[in-house]
Structure 1
């Protein structure tokens, strides 16, 4: 499904020209981000001012329903339409998002290869800010190793995710021996696993991590607590236990989708603050979770609310959250 690389003398020239154009767009993107955010550069080259840090969005969903089947959307609802790269560009305009990582969208497993090839092509052509992808996969499947090896020479692929809170994934799924074997395979290949699960199963996450100490694991959506929950005690304790594992990072994403109408940044602050305090400044990354975030907020509203929550933290901590950690954890170029 992905576009093949140009071949031959003329094709090589096209590739060099496209790469040069992409590099120039990236440079201009950084400059535009700083200008749009009102950032200032000091003599030491560091940015000053709250919110002046350009953003790497580590959690961008895209889907074309004429191309892919998403079983979870077949019941309809506000998300049951196409969300294409141009739509994301419009949603992200002026926010200073200079790079982004595609996050798999739980397509029919029979289309995993096609989805991966599609997004690899987007990354290679530098469509919007996309530079990497977490592709869909089934770690417990018999052919998981061969599936990973199919993308061995595709540096755009950074990791794999299987959503563990949907139908067909009962509690304990991540602890099955076959699943653990698959997560270990990821570490052996230098790939990460995005862990997206029910908040009540975070103790299982800690056990999974203990079984797979050589695999980098990123916990999506702060472990999926609800912003509207009256009691976050169990989530707080289980997240703290998981944070003790050094090969786990946490993605500050997704939580706004559970907020009630009329929510404010103060409603998000307890969850965000606990995550940042427990994981520390070097193991947290930002994720927009667009378009799922639009259940309760535009991408701009979510970004601005998070900037408000972390506004009292140091510039170094904000830079780590929004930019530096993502580049390291997802092994992005530059």
Structure 2
């Protein structure tokens, strides 16, 4: 009997709208309900994959402290890492249950140039000193800014969401991604909310070292314009059943140990 492909999903969300308010959902009716983690488990089961767990990424709630508590209280063993929200700075507050930090740089509230502010760079250096990874979600047009900012802290583990939100294959975008890929501790997730561009996926595959490319779904946001099944098939078509891509690279990026995994059978 062929063993199922084991997967660690490096980027999923979940929320409970009876307890949380996510203002950005107001214009997204298909997502404007609660999404518990067991629904994602069921989807992987239907795909014939063995879902070992994944990385919870903050959901841009209007109350991050409540989100921290809800994630803390959720003892589901499939939550293998937690990337929680904080404002990056040299004296930043970090939730005690956080694996790492995401400060959203892709939202309307994030000003252009935020990543270049001295306090932000100082915060990145403080995170690097503590061995705390930064989860990077940026606007695609600002990829050159990201390359300029993060090259100042090469010792930091930075994990780029959604192919860096790379908008196109222009020389400007390519150079920025190549600069990020040259950083020794920079990882990138093949995920997104729109159906990902096959040519951009191929460029990322050929540009980043293979041990720093992560499989990720961005569930449930992936369901708005695509589906988990469609995304999964593209990943198989592009990377094949590569256990490093689907599992081991995420373990390395987020410090997930084998004894944390619940393996079926």
* TM-align CA RMSD: 2.0
1:186-227: per-residue Cα shift (whole Å, max 9, x none)? 22222101111111211111122122222200111111135x
Aligned twin of 1:322: 246
* Residue 78 (structure 1) aligned with residue 27 (structure 2): no
Contact 1:91/1:298 (CA < 8 Å) preserved in 2? Answer: no
**CA positional deviation for 1:76:** 4.3
TM-score (norm 2): 0.89
Aligned twin of 1:137: 86
Contact 2:99/2:133 (CA < 8 Å) preserved in 1? Answer: yes
Aligned twin of 2:49: 95
**CA positional deviation for 1:278:** 0.9
What is the 5 A alignment of 1:210-249?
A: 210-226=151-167, 232-249=170-187
Q: Distance in 2 between matches of 1:185 and 1:115?
A: 24
Contact 2:128/2:157 (CA < 8 Å) preserved in 1? Answer: yes
The higher radius of gyration belongs to 1
**CA positional deviation for 1:175:** 0.9
Task: Give the gaps of 5 or more residues in structure 1.
Answer: 1-34, 40-51, 260-266
Q: Distance in 1 between matches of 2:236 and 2:225?
A: 17
Q: Distance in 2 between matches of 1:233 and 1:66?
A: 46
> Paired residue for 2:207, among 249, 256, 278?
278
1:80-135: per-residue Cα shift (whole Å, max 9, x none)? 22111222222222322212110111112xx222212222332x342xx2221111
Q: Distance in 1 between matches of 2:15 and 2:236?
A: 28
Task: Give the gaps of 5 or more residues in structure 2.
Answer: 259-265
Contact 1:95/1:300 (CA < 8 Å) preserved in 2? Answer: no
> Paired residue for 2:188, among 245, 250, 262?
250
